Amino acid sequence: MSQTTEEPLLSPELLARLERLEFVSRKIFRGKFKGERRSKRKGQSVEFADFRNYVVGDDLRFIDWNTYARLDRLFLKLFLEEEDLHFYCLVDTSRSMEFGEPTKLHFARQLAAALGFVGLIRADRVRIEPLGPDKPPSAPMLRGRSSLWRMLDYLNSFEAGEAQPLAASVKQFCLRNPGQGIVVLVSDLLDRGGYEEALRYLLARRMDVYVVQVLAQEEFDPELAGDLRLVDCEDQDVAEVTISAPLLKKYKQTLAAFLASVREFCHARGMVHLVANNQTPVDQLILSYLRQRGLVR
């Protein structure tokens, strides 16, 4: 919508600071390719893990011959396997993300780009998907620093538009991507159908889930006055309000209650919930808040 005027998704300074980061997964997932992180599997690497007794059928190459010579028993030397990580970033592209200055969508794209970059440079597998379109274009699985520009181009193609409910989009994602990994959901969660079902789908895949709830400054502190007919941009639902101090107070209370309920839901299920204001700089969000929450280090 206003991409031409918006700042680039990633600035060189931000890239420089992101270089030093890597994803931390609280769960250890089975990767597809050999990567840069330790695997739960014992495998071929230079890092010694353990010994165990030899059983018939084991690969003879891993028998510790020095021990056999000393103890006359066959032990198998186990090494830690190093694997890659699946990193998914789900960006809500419903119409409601179009609000704010900068728009929440732009903010979400920036965040996705930054996190994707972290993944790329650590040789993780990065997939960024828009949530919303009925039939989303197949998202490329990206790997390696060289994929950065592809990722950015792809992100720039995201546009807000007619969207199906959040839960349906997440369900489709889960069906398409059976693999485990880290998933970051960037959305305002303002879905009439509720956010719980969507998060449950992600949980069911036993993924490491981060929920970044993006809200515009206008949503935190609405600058409205007078007799208004509020029209929902997604379903054209109408709310007639006359702005008054108690109503604004009530709105803020409702918003706080809503955010608190999301946080509680997430914490109870081992998910990390983070509320982001679209005015917050992305680097601060990543380098400070997400680091504290343990997504990156």
Partner 1 sequence: MNEFAFRSALTGPQLAALALIPPAILALYFLKLKRQPLEVPSTYLWHKAIEDLHVNSLWQRLRQSLLLFLQLLIAALALLAAWNPTWLSHELRGERYVFLIDNSASMSAADLEPSRLEWSKQTAAQLIEQMRPGAAAMIVSFSNTARVEQQFTTNRNELLNRVAAIRPTSRPTNLREALLLAAGLANPGRTSTDAGDVQVADALPAEMFIFSDGHLPAVEGFSLGNLEPTFITTGSAAAKNVAISAFSVRRPERRASEIEVFARLHNHGLETAEASVELRLDGELIDASRMTIEPGESDGIVFPLTEMETGVLELRADSRDDLVADDRAWVAVNPPQPARVLLVTPGNDPLEYALTTGRANERAEVTLEPPPFLAGERYQAIANSDAYDLVIFDRCRPETMPRANTLFIGTTPVGGQWQQLESADVPVIIDTNSAHPLMNLIALGDVDIVEARPLEVPSGGQVLVESQAGPLVAIAPREGFEDAVIAFPLVDAEQVYTNWPLRLSFPVFVLNVLDYLGHSEDALEQGFVRPGQSLALRLSGAGEEIRVRDPGGDEVRVSRGNLGAFNFAATDQLGVYEIMADDISMGSFAVNLFDADESAIRLAEDPKLKIGFIDVAGQAAPQVARREIWWYLLLAALGVALVEWYIYNRRVYL
Supply the minimum distance, in Å, between the C-beta of residue 223 and partner 1: 8
Name 96's Cβ contacts closer than 8 Å, sequence gap at least 6. Answer: 104, 188, 190, 233, 234
Kindly tell me which residue out of 241, 280, 289, 293 binds partner 1, with binding defined by CB under 8 A.
241
| 275 binds partner 1 per the rule CB under 8 A | no
Q: Which of 2, 44, 157, 254 binds partner 1 (CB under 8 A)?
A: 254
Residue range at the interface with partner 1 (CB under 8 A); choices 92-100, 145-153, 205-213, 271-279: 92-100
As a whole number of angstroms, the distance between CA 104 and CA 188 comes to: 8
Query: Cis peptide before 140, with omega less than 30 degrees from 0?
Result: no
- Please report, as residue ranges, which positions from 166 to 195 form the binding site for partner 1 (by CB under 8 A): 188, 190, 192
- The yes or no reply on residue 2 touching partner 1 (CB under 8 A) is no
C-alpha–C-alpha distance, residues 63 and 232, integer Å: 67
Q: Mask 199-238, x = binds partner 1 (CB under 8 A)?
A: -----------------x--x---xxxxxxxxxxxx--xx
User: Could you say which DSSP state residue 144 is in?
Assistant: S
Residue 273 CB, nearest approach to partner 1 (Å)? 17
Distance from C-alpha of 120 to C-alpha of 117, rounded to nearest angstrom = 5
Residue with tokens 């680039």: 8
The token pair at 74 is 């066959």
| Minimum gap (Å) between residue 28 Cβ and partner 1 | 38
> Can you tell me the distance from the alpha carbon of 217 to that of 275, in angstroms, rounded to the nearest whole number?
12
CA distances from 58 to 53, 75, 104 (A): 10, 10, 54
Least distance between partner 1 and beta carbon 247 (Å): 6
* Minimum CB distance to partner 1, residue 221 (Å): 12
Residues that bind partner 1 (CB under 8 A): 95-99, 104, 188, 190, 192, 216, 219, 223-234, 237-248, 250-251, 253-255, 258
